[in-house]
Structure 1
Amino acid sequence: MMIGCASPSGLSDRHERFRDRAFLAALLAPLPRDVLRRLRLLIRPDTVVRWHRDLVKRRHARACAPKRRGRPPTIRSIRALVLRLVRENPSWGYRRVHGELTTLGITIAPSTVWEILQQEGVDPAADRASTTWADFLRSQAEALLACDFIETVTLGGRRQYILAVIEHATRRIRVLGAIAHPTANWVAQAVKNLVMDLEDAGCRLRSLIRDRDGKFPELMDEILAEAGIQTVLTGIRMPRMNAIMERWVQSCRHELLARYLLWNERHLQYALREYEPLRGYPMY
């Protein structure tokens, strides 16, 4: 007998050793004396007794061990139903989902619903129900305008201010004008021309996003309000609230203002008229 050798059935050395010890422990009592005398050359009787004791302990532990540990896994169809309810009803929390499942006759604990949402990375109901600024812009894109001033300097050293407007839905750019001193009357007239162009084009816009620059007069907001367009002010030092307009401003600076030598205001207006239709739609 070879103790610890691998068996032809493919058992590991550890399992084979356990089997050998159990076999020896079972044969200890009925073995003849001559066989016991031979076994003394390999093992001691105390060792066999210890093996037998360990064997009894393992059998007792297996007999007393519970057959099932922990909760059973949640049925896949129930997990899919929980995720569907949350996806279609963003304002529902895990307790509301548990109540709906109970109404459908599905027995499940509220903690199980919470655990499913946690494993799938679903945010709490308060975070899912809130409307972010990006969600607002996407949902209202068809009715949004945005405007901003762009500052530049000509070769003559004269500072110029460009007033531009962009439509969120089509990304169409409208350059309203460029001037060295944008007075309130000049801005108001530029906005009036914009309103007339929008009416002629049949555009139904309801909001215009702009920053809190002092060059925008109150008369501008009044003209827009008469046309049914509400002015939406961005936060202080928060250009990302007007990200689409800021993106076009960056493109205009990089592709036009920083690349060409603009002699004067007239040359600037000509360059803007040529550049406007080229970047009337998004580059990204």
Structure 2
Amino acid sequence: MSKSPYYAPQGGLPPQTQLLTDRAMFTDAYAVIPRGTMTDIVTSNLPLWDNTRAWVIARPMSGFAESFSHYITEVSPGGGSQKPELDPRAQGVVFVVEGTCQITIEGATHTLNEGGYAFLPAGCDWQLRNLSDAPVRFHWVRKAYDAVPGIDAPEAFVTNEKDVSPNAMPDTDGKWATTRFVEPDDMRHDMHVNIVTFEPGAVIPFAETHVMEHGLYVLEGKAVYRLNQDWVEVEAGDYMWLRAFCPQACYAGGPGRFRYLLYKDVNRHMKLG
């Protein structure tokens, strides 16, 4: 089997000889969860899922993620769920980073390989099984859908990252690009889960400060990332949460590409009260 281009946690535990020093940080403005913290003892089981465990790397709570939850889910051979989502308000995105699974949406079955992406609207009927002989690992991002009268709800779709052309950011010579699975002006959608790619030496050349909440999982490479007032080293397998208006910037020093899976909430009025 060829090596996946995306980093996925494997579990296990560090040796008793390892020092406790790490890059984990939790602040009012941002959090960094390094890949080394994603061990066996921090996984969670999910109801109505067989042979499955999940690293929960974001969940709605005071002082942390407000609008979404984010799991890295590992399903062993023969595992999966016939009723994976118990909240009828929850929409979801599944993005496969290692292995293969079958996902059935409203009776239509699709195979998701590495890079496979499925959007699952709130209330849709779906199931997921691992029929292969190796574990499958995927990101599962969930958000309660914010319906708007007069705007249709979005439909389910399945694709693969390799079939979606990245959009270069203006005036960057293609060094900073975003793979968008949903068009930004499609008002049916109130969340985007995209992939951002920086070529070696590329930067976010200003401190982005905006209303969108972010979750960033590093799929590949390394960089230094500006989070509020701090510059933090991050690498493949690390996770960052940024609250709304947390200043951010990036310098991807190389030697390879720096890529991350990005969540943000979009296209809705700000709730008052």
**TM-score, length of structure 1 as denominator length:** 0.21
More helix by share: 1
More strand by share: 2
Higher relative contact order (CA 8 A, sep 6+): 2
Structure of larger gyration radius: 1
